[in-house]
Amino acid sequence: MILPQSLTMDFSTGALSGADVEEVSRTIADLPGVFGDEAARRALAPVTLVYRVQSHLPVAAGTEGGLFWGTTFIQPGLVGDEYFMTKGHFHAKRDHGEYYVACSGEGALILMDEERHTRFEPMRPGSVHYVPSNMAHRVANTGASVFSFFACWPSDAGHDYDSILRDGFSARLRCISGQPELVSTP
Ligand code: S6P
Ligand code: ZN
């Protein structure tokens, strides 16, 4: 028996369509404490969209052996001189990795290990990025248009946002003379 395909992805934008696609949005109002310049964040309209995530979650979160699939769309923009970016997280199960593939626009994957060493990888359409286990990860839009990438991660990885909200990354990706530069936080 041939079943109809219920989920499709547009490879040029990463957009998912079909049944069982969930979507969350993060606006400037949703991201207190995420950017280095809190005054600059508060000066922006609270409803400003920073990013949204479409996800296909075929099993319950926490299920061992399953996989999740999702696309993140990050708007272009700056908070002060810091690029619009995702909150960032460690996986709750630290030994669980993830794949990212860039679809459209220009971005950067920012990775920090548990010894707080931070680096970044430029993301361009078609670039494939392995997020190793035990690494906090977040993505910034370093271009002038929407940056999108898709991700595949284990359904039991979970998300630890609290460590990042409390301690941050050890460096921030700032727009210096029009170019992304990783600047250590004091
Ligand atoms: C999930 C994966 C992505 C992020 C998304 C938003 O493990 O890394 O789908 O959830 O890019 O980032 P964040 O940090 O707000 O979850
Ligand atoms: Zn992740």
**How confident is the model at residue 4, as a pLDDT?**
67
Q: What are phi and psi of 166, to 5 degrees?
A: -75, -50
CB 88 near ligand 1, within 6 Å: yes
Question: Ligand 2: distance of its center to the CA of 32 in Å?
Answer: 20
Ligand nearest to C-alpha 61: 1
Residue 96's DSSP bridge partners are: none
Closest residue CA from atom 12 of ligand 1: 86
Question: Ligand 1: distance of its center to the CA of 177 in Å?
Answer: 28
**How confident is the model at residue 27, as a pLDDT?**
98
DSSP conformational letter for 92? S
Write the CB contacts of 186 (distance below 8 Å, at least 6 apart in sequence). none
Walk me through the domains of the chain, giving residue ranges and CATH numbers: 8-184 (2.60.120.10)
Return the higher-pLDDT residue of 54 and 3.
54
Q: Which whole-number Å values give the CA distances from 11 to 70, 71, 111, in the listed order?
A: 13, 11, 25
Tell me the per-residue pLDDT of 106-141, one tens digit each, with 9 for 90 and over: 999 999 999 999 999 999 999 999 999 999 999 999
Closest residue CA from atom 6 of ligand 1: 86
Distance between CA atoms of 48 and 88, rounded to whole angstroms? 19
Tell me the per-residue pLDDT of 72-85, one tens digit each, with 9 for 90 and over: 999 999 999 999 99
| Beta carbons of 122 and 173 less than 8 angstroms apart | no
pTM equals: 0.97
Tell me the per-residue pLDDT of 4-63, one tens digit each, with 9 for 90 and over: 678 999 999 999 999 899 999 999 999 999 999 999 999 999 999 999 999 999 999 999
Q: What are phi and psi of 64, to 5 degrees?
A: -75, 140
